[in-house]
Amino acid sequence: MNLQIVSTKDSHVHIAVSGRVSQDGMSRDQEPIATLLGPEAYTLTVLLDLGGTEVIDSSGIGWLLTCHKRFAENGGRMVCYSAPPAVANVFKLMRMDLVFDSAANAAEAEKLAGVNSQ
């Protein structure tokens, strides 16, 4: 799994996720979003572009659930967008579409998150 900051604005950060979304090979203490954005990561509004995601497994879903919880606990927000059909189907099958804020594209994600896309 690769994460890359695409853009940073005052109110939100776009992160592109690519490859296989899984915790395989990652220690339980490792947190990719906090590593990428720093200790205040979960106080931000983070928009995750899943367009480059090849596949997501149950550990990847678990990671997203943990992130979702951390954002909620710290006053931040996570919105997933541009999930490829295979990932969207996993979300739907595991009923994660009822848990995660999801949007079809970046503009809809920004609107859902209540941020301005200036």
Q: What is the pLDDT of residues 50-72, one digit of tens each?
A: 999 999 999 999 999 999 999 99
pLDDT band at 3 (very low <50, low <70, confident <90, very high): very high
pLDDT band at 81 (very low <50, low <70, confident <90, very high): very high
Domain ranges, residue 77: 2-113
**Region 10-21: what's the mean pLDDT?**
93
Residue 107 has pLDDT above 60, yes or no: yes
For residue 30, the model assigns a pLDDT of 75
Q: Does residue 104 belong to any structural domain of this protein?
A: yes
**Region 2-27: what's the mean pLDDT?**
89
What distance in Å separates the CA atoms of residue 77 and residue 88, rounded to the nearest whole number?
Answer: 20
CB atoms within 10 A of CB 90: 20
For residue 9, the model assigns a pLDDT of 87
Q: What is the dihedral of CA 68, 70, 78, 101, to 10 degrees?
A: 30
User: Taking Cα atoms as reference points, which of 36, 97, 43, 30 lies closest to residue 65?
Assistant: 97
Q: Does residue 9 belong to any structural domain of this protein?
A: yes
Based on the number of CB atoms within 10 Å of its own CB, is 68 exposed (0-12), middle (13-18) or buried (19 or more)?
middle
Q: Give the phi and the psi of residue 8 in degrees, each rounded to 5.
A: -130, 125
Q: Does residue 34 belong to any structural domain of this protein?
A: yes
The CATH number of residue 78's host domain is: 3.30.750.24
Sheet bearing 77-81, strands edge to edge: 2-8, 13-21, 45-56, 77-81, 101-103
pLDDT band at 115 (very low <50, low <70, confident <90, very high): confident
Q: Does residue 118 belong to any structural domain of this protein?
A: no
Please report how many Cα atoms fall inside a 13 Å half-sphere around the Cα of residue 103, on the Cβ side.
18
Domain count within the chain: 1
**Region 103-112: what's the mean pLDDT?**
95
